[in-house]
Every structure is written in C-alpha cells, then in structure tokens.
Amino acid sequence: MRLIITRHGETEENAKGILQGHQPGKLNEKGILQAKKLAEKLKNEEVVAIYSSDLARASDTAKEIHKIHPDARIIFVEELREKNQGSLTGKLIKEIDWNKPRDTEKREAMIERAKKILDLAYKEHPKETVLFVSHGGLIQILMSILLNKSIEEIKKLGKIENTAIFIFDVKEGEYTFVNCDKSIR
C-alpha cells in the first residue's frame, strides 16, 4: 500500500493562534487555496480511498482533493481527529500554562486510534494508494509509529505545516518513508 498523509489547510483559528483540538475549525482564504493546490499536487497519484478526520477543517480539505479524485472513496473517521484538548480547547496558545495539569487526551489513546486506522487502511487496501487527511498532533503520532521513533524524536523534526505531504510505502506492517513535501503554501 502507498500511504499519503497530509494536514488540513490553514484555518481562521490557526491564523489567530487558537488551540483547536476537537473544534471543527474553518478554513480561511489561504487554507482554501492551500487545499486546492494540494489537490492539484496529488492529481497524478492513483488514490482509491481518502480517509479524513471528520472535523470540518480536515473534511473540507479532503473534499477539495476529492474533486480531483472523484472515483476515490471518501471516508470521514474520528480516528484521524486532532488531540482532544479538553478545557484548553479554544484558548490562545501563547496564553496556555503547559506546566499545569490538564484534562487532555492521553498520548496512549491517540496511539491506539492511529494504529487502528493504519490497520484498517492496510486491511482494506493492501496494494493501493490511500490518503489520510488529518491534523498536526495526530500526524506526529502516525509518523512515530511509521518511522518507529519516539514522539520526542518526531517533534524534533519540526512543526507539521498545513498541507505538508508525507508518503510511505507499506508492506505487511513494514513502513518505508518515500518522500516529504512541505512546499505547498
């Protein structure tokens, strides 16, 4: 299976520095343009299925890609959602005290749902190309699984930019990193 992973386009909340968590998020003008450019960039990929977070910012990005791949099955799933940020949701990131105890989703729960969607996609499409449209935090979790690295090592690679593309080849539980494109702006 070829697995392409991308993050949603920029949202109004991203531009304002708001922690979105499970909020839907609304693509801003730049984010809509990013989603269109992303779709165009992926036009030559033979995508048979698009798995997208069911949160609006990701699903709206996936719908733009689906316009270029109308024959691909599009599936909206909770497993690809961003981390549930609990009571931090909707707050300005620069004002959050990260040292205080939080009621946020645990990393183990995110890993469990990431593994679940990876297993499902491979089971359904072992020899096809699949696209995941997700969020920065969940993509870091996916990358840690796929690259067999700790989340701390993945975070050192830098922020997952809006509409960045990561490509992996998957064969019976083995993942080979193929390419990364952070150029879509």
More confident residue, 183 or 78: 78
CATH number at residue 148: 3.40.50.1240
- How far is 31 from 61, CA to CA, in rounded Å? 8
Cβ neighbors of 152 (< 8 A, separation 6 or more) are: none
Active-site positions?
8, 82
Dump pLDDT digits (tens) for 32-57: 999 999 999 999 999 999 999 999 99
Q: Residue 116 belongs to what domain range?
A: 2-181
Mean pLDDT of 72-97: 96
Q: Is the pLDDT of residue 96 over 70?
A: yes
36-50 burial, b for 16+ CB within 10 Å, e for fewer?
bbbbebbeebebbbb
**pLDDT, position 185:** 56
**pLDDT, position 52:** 98
Mean pLDDT of 138-153: 95
Number of domains in the chain: 1
Instruction: Decide: 103 and 127 in contact? Cβ < 8 Å.
Output: no
